[in-house]
Amino acid sequence: MKYILGFMLVIVSASYSLSQHKIEFDIANYEQDTVVIGYYLIDKQLVHDTLYPNKQGTYVLEGEENLNSGVYMLLTLPDKEFVQFIVTENEQNYKVTFSADQLGALKFDNAPDNKQLNDYVDFLKKIRPQADILRDSITSLTDAGQDATEIQKQLNEVDKLVSDYQEDMYTSHPDYISSQMIRANKEIIVPDFSDAADPNVKRYEYYRAHYFDNIRMGDPATLRTPFLHQRVNYYLNKLTPNHPDSISNALDYILEKMTPSPETFKYYLSHYLNEYAGSKIVGFDAIYVHLVDKYYASGKADWVEEDNLLKIVKRANDIRPTLIGKIGADLTVYKEDETPITLSDIDYEYLVLLFWAPDCGHCKKSMPDYVKFNEEWNAKGVKTLAICTKHQDKTKNCWESVKEKNMEGFINAADQYHRSKFKVKYNVTSTPKLYILDKNREIIMKNIVSGQLDEVMSEIIKIKKMEEEGKG
Quick one: three-class SS letters along the chain?
Answer: CHHHHCCCCCEEEEEECCCCEEEEEEEECCCCCCEEEEEEECCEEEEEEEECCCCCCCEEEEECCCCCCEEEEEEECCCCCEEEEEEECCCCCEEEEEECCEEEEEEECCCHHHHHHHHHHHHHHHHHHHHHHHHHHHHHHHHCCCCCHHHHHHHHHHHHHHHHHHHHHHHHCCCCHHHHHHHHCCCCCCCCCCCCCCHHHHHHHHHHHCCCCCCCCCCHHHHCCCCHHHHHHHHHHHCCCCCHHHHHHHHHHHHHHHCCCHHHHHHHHHHHHHHHHCCCCCCCHHHHHHHHHHHHCCCCCCCCCHHHHHHHHHHHHHHHHHCCCCECCCCEEECCCCCEEEHHHCCCCEEEEEEECCCCHHHHHHHHHHHHHHHHHHHHCEEEEEEECCCHHHHHHHHHHHHHCCCCCCEEEECCCCCCCHHHHCCCCCCCEEEEEECCCEEEEECCCHHHHHHHHHHHHHHHHHHHHHHC
60-69, 264-273, 339-348: least confident range: 60-69
* 402-429 pLDDT tens trace: 999 999 999 999 999 999 999 999 999 9
**pLDDT for 10:** 46
Please state, in angstroms and as integers, the Cα–Cα distance from residue 233 to each residue in 43, 221, 237, 262, following that order: 9, 18, 6, 20
Say what the pLDDT of residue 17 is: 40
Mean per-residue pLDDT for 21-49? Answer: 94
pLDDT confidence tier of residue 259, bands split at 50, 70 and 90: very high
For residues 440-465, average pLDDT: 93
Confidence (pTM): 0.87
- Cα gap 357→353, rounded to integer Å: 14
Smallest CA-to-CA distance from 184 within 115, 244, 126, 232 is with: 232
* β-strand partners of 136: none
Least confident of 17-26, 171-180, 354-363: 17-26
* Contacts (Cβ under 8 Å, ≥6 apart) of 453: 352, 369, 370, 373, 434
Nearest to 332 by CA among 322, 324, 340, 320: 340
Q: Is the pLDDT of residue 154 over 50?
A: yes
In this predicted structure, the answer to whether residue 14 has a pLDDT above a threshold of 60 is: no
pLDDT at 106 over 90: no
Q: For residues 225-238, give the mean pLDDT.
A: 95
Mean pLDDT of 278-285: 94
Q: Does pLDDT of 400 surpass 60?
A: yes
Q: Are strands 82-88 and 70-76 parallel, antiparallel or unpaired?
A: antiparallel
- Among 100-109, 362-371, 443-452, the minimum mean pLDDT is found in 100-109
Q: Indicate if the pLDDT at residue 177 is higher than 60.
A: yes
Asked if residue 247 has pLDDT above 70, the reply is yes
Whether the pLDDT of residue 299 is over 50: the answer is yes
Is pLDDT of 92 > 80? no
Would you tell me the crossing angle of helices 453-471 and 361-377 to the nearest 10 degrees?
A: 40
Top pLDDT among 17 and 466 is at 466
Report the alpha-carbon distance of residue 355 to residue 110 in Å, rounded.
67
Please write the tens of the pLDDT for every residue from 308-333: 999 999 999 999 999 999 999 999 99
Q: Would you tell me how many other CB atoms lie within 10 Å of the CB of residue 458?
A: 11
Whether the per-residue pLDDT at 7 is higher than 70: the answer is no
Give the model's pLDDT for residue 472.
58
Indicate if the pLDDT at residue 76 is higher than 60: yes
Statement: residue 111 has pLDDT above 90: no
Mean pLDDT over 214-224 rounds to: 94
Is the pLDDT at 12 greater than 60? The verdict is: no
For residues 19-26, give the mean pLDDT. Answer: 85
Torsion of CA 55, 61, 63, 65, to 10 degrees: -170
Q: How far apart are CA 241 and CA 82, in angstroms?
A: 37
With 90 as the cut, is the pLDDT of residue 115 above it? no
Q: 295 burial class (0-12, 13-18, 19+ CB within 10 angstroms)?
A: buried
Instruction: Give percent above pLDDT 70 in the chain.
Output: 96
The model's confidence at residue 5, banded by pLDDT at 50, 70 and 90, is very low
Distance CA 258, CA 241 (A): 22
Residue 355 has pLDDT above 80, yes or no: yes
pLDDT at residue 83 in the model: 92
